[in-house]
Amino acid sequence: MLAADGAERTEFLQRVVPPRAHPKIYTRTIILRNDASAFVKHDMEVPVPNFAGVLKGEIRRLARKEVKATVMPLRKLVTTLRRRVAEQRKLVSELERAAKRAGGGTRAATVAESEPQVRFSAQWVKSHRKKLGMSRRVYAKLVGVSAQSIFGWETGRTRPRRTALESWRRIRTMGKREVKALAGAVKMGRRGRAASDRPGRLAVGRRRAAKKK
């Protein structure tokens, strides 16, 4: 490696470096003279960029750019579709509620039309009872309710149920003689039941007296 004419020679050497480190080029300058044994050595480190890393980074950047350009319109489309689906669900829910309300109103109207309309007034109950000359107890037996219920109807504190209202309507449409006859039949029925219960009561009393003896 010695120059015959003592000229200056420059050598470029590539140093092997560990991973993730920047390779460096070393410049070695060797000066040789024929008339002297002097040896001069000069080393200079020149950093060189990692071309492979730079290339990979640029490839990743371009790939991300292309993917973003492709995905962004799809994201916007998905967002729009989700918003439309939410609006459609809300509309369907509102229509279902409206249909339920309309169906309930139709059924109620159908039932109301099928049933006869019975007009009721507290004053009518009181005047009709006085017209027949009956007490609340007897009048209540005809209608099929208690005397307390008749009192509540006449004072307006309570209102008869559908079955009781229908019974009161039938009594109200009957004539005075028919109502009197019905009241007599009710009284006779009560007396008959009381008479039929008397033998049983007497037998029970006799058995109790025998046990005491």
Tokens of 20: 């993730």
pTM exceeds 0.85 for this model = no
Q: What is the model's pLDDT at position 211?
A: 63
Q: In 3-state terms, the chain is what percent helix, strand and coil (to 5)?
A: 65, 10, 25
Q: What is the model's pLDDT at position 170?
A: 84
Q: What is the model's pLDDT at position 117?
A: 63
Continuous segment of H or E residues that includes residue 24? strand 24-31
Answer whether 125's CB lies under 8 Å from 154's CB.
Answer: yes
Q: What is the model's pLDDT at position 1?
A: 46
How do the pLDDT tens digits run along the chain, 213 residues long?
444 444 444 444 444 444 444 444 444 444 444 444 444 444 445 455 688 888 888 999 999 999 888 888 888 989 999 999 999 998 888 888 888 888 765 555 554 455 556 677 778 888 888 888 888 888 888 888 888 888 888 888 888 888 888 888 888 888 777 777 777 776 655 555 544 445 455 555 566 666 655
Q: Show Cβ contacts of residue 189 under 8 Å, excluding neighbours closer than 6 positions.
A: none
Domain 122-212, second-level architecture: Orthogonal Bundle (1.10)
Residue identified by tokens 């300058």 is 29
